[in-house]
């Protein structure tokens, strides 16, 4: 019998305690992933998730989050949500209370307010500084004011892709947390502020079930970080689960999905973390400049363990 466990991305390490404690006390995988993700969202030192997250082009944090239940294949996701401290809990409410899977922008905010979710300002001195530096760097010749004309000019300049590759692609991040509880139920959670200075309304892979997040009790769980556009195009998380369904190991499935990303022949990196119901864990990245790692913590462990994953070459 596999012991309950939780795993997460590099930035989730110290916060897995909360989820492991939950699992130790007989809590559900959904409770465990939500608890650990909330702590990452509250960490002001993490500038890609929750409080102090990276702002969009207007200097505002627009958050994406998703949560999935591997037993029911139910999911809740929110995109481009502003002013709520815990997007992952709003996503959980969507999963449990809404007749929908995905809510975005004003609608998601209205729903979150109706559910009594915690509101708050996500900007900090750090995130304001990040915005000021980016703006100075990217828009030297533009006048940034309250009107939206500058953004129209910017969009018309047709340099958006070049700019995105040069600036935004280097400033992003996401947290992935996935767990299996004592009943063998699996859950997966993803939360992010997305890419730096994203165009307002841009959704990444994180709130898209099948792209940045997927789990199924029968086969395992897979979540992604990296340039979301690539995971959306390849349905990366769902594809990894499909590869495992077809008989590949977690490691082989992650490897193949990263090869699929390379096959897009597009600028930008992708990373994934994966586990199967036997408790085999792996992480993989298309990047060559960084080691792939993930954190693992079984419910009876005293501290999380850092595990090395695989770097997948084109």
Give the catalytic positions in this structure. Answer: 174
The reply to whether 195 sits near ligand ASP by the rule CB under 6 A is yes
In the complex, what is the shortest distance from the CB of residue 70 to ligand ASP, in angstroms, rounded to a whole number? 21
In the complex, what is the shortest distance from the CB of residue 191 to ligand ASP, in angstroms, rounded to a whole number? 10
Strands (E) across the chain are located at 5-8, 63-69, 74-81, 102-104, 174-180, 186-192, 213-216, 220-226, 270-275, 281-285, 293-298, 305-308, 310-311
Q: Which of 87, 173, 304, 309 binds ligand ASP (CB under 6 A)?
A: 173
Residue 307: strand, helix, or coil: strand
The reply to whether 52 sits near ligand ASP by the rule CB under 6 A is no
Side-chain-facing half-sphere of 81: CA atoms under 13 Å: 38
Q: Which of 31, 34, 181, 205 binds ligand ASP (CB under 6 A)?
A: 205
| Binding-site size, ligand ASP (CB under 6 A) | 14
Q: Could you tell me the two tokens for 240?
A: 């990894």
Q: Which of 61, 174, 235, 239 binds ligand ASP (CB under 6 A)?
A: 174
Cβ-contact 246, 253 below 8 angstroms:
no
Q: Footprint of ligand ASP on residues 227-286 (CB under 6 A)?
A: 227-228
Q: Of the ranges 15-23, 82-90, 138-146, 223-231, which one interacts with ligand ASP (CB under 6 A)?
A: 223-231
Side-chain-facing half-sphere of 298: CA atoms under 13 Å: 9
Q: Which of 19, 70, 194, 220 binds ligand ASP (CB under 6 A)?
A: 194
Length of the chain, in residues? 314
Its sign, for the CA torsion 306, 73, 119, 124, is positive
Q: Of the ranges 36-44, 49-57, 154-162, 188-196, which one interacts with ligand ASP (CB under 6 A)?
A: 188-196
Euclidean distance between CA atoms 218 and 70, whole angstroms: 8
In the complex, what is the shortest distance from the CB of residue 206 to ligand ASP, in angstroms, rounded to a whole number? 5
- Interface with ligand ASP by CB under 6 A: which residues? 172-174, 192, 194-195, 204-206, 212, 225-228
């Amino acid at each position: 019998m596999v012991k309950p466990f939780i795993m997460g991305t590099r930035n989730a390490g110290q916060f897995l305690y909360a989820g492991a404690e939950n699992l130790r006390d007989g809590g559900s995988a959904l409770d465990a992933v939500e608890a650990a993700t909330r702590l990452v969202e509250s960490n002001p030192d993490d500038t890609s998730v929750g409080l102090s997250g990276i702002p969009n082009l207007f200097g505002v944090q627009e958050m994406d989050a998703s949560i999935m239940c591997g037993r029911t294949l139910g999911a809740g996701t929110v995109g481009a949500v502003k002013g709520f401290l815990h997007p992952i809990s709003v996503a959980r409410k969507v999963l449990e209370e809404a007749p929908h899977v995905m809510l975005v922008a004003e609608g998601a905010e209205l729903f979150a307010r109706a559910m009594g979710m915690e509101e708050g300002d996500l900007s900090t001195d750090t995130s304001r500084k990040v915005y000021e530096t980016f703006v100075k760097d990217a828009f030297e010749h533009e006048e940034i004011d309250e009107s939206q004309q500058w953004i129209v000019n910017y969009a018309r300049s047709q340099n958006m892709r070049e700019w995105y590759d040069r600036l935004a692609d280097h400033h992003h991040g996401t947290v992935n947390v996935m767990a299996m509880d004592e009943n063998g139920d699996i859950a997966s959670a993803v939360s992010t502020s997305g890419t730096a200075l994203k165009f307002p309304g841009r959704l990444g892979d994180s709130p898209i079930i099948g792209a940045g997040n997927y789990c199924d009790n029968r086969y395992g769980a897979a979540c992604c970080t990296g340039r979301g556009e690539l995971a959306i195009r390849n349905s990366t998380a769902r594809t990894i689960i499909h590869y495992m369904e077809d008989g590949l190991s977690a490691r082989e499935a992650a490897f193949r999905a990263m090869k699929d990303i390379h096959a897009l022949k597009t600028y930008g990196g992708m990373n994934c973390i994966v586990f199967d119901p036997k408790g085999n864990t792996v992480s993989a990245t298309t990047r060559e400049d960084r080691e792939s790692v993930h954190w693992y913590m079984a419910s009876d462990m005293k501290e999380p363990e850092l595990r090395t994953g695989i770097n997948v070459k084109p």
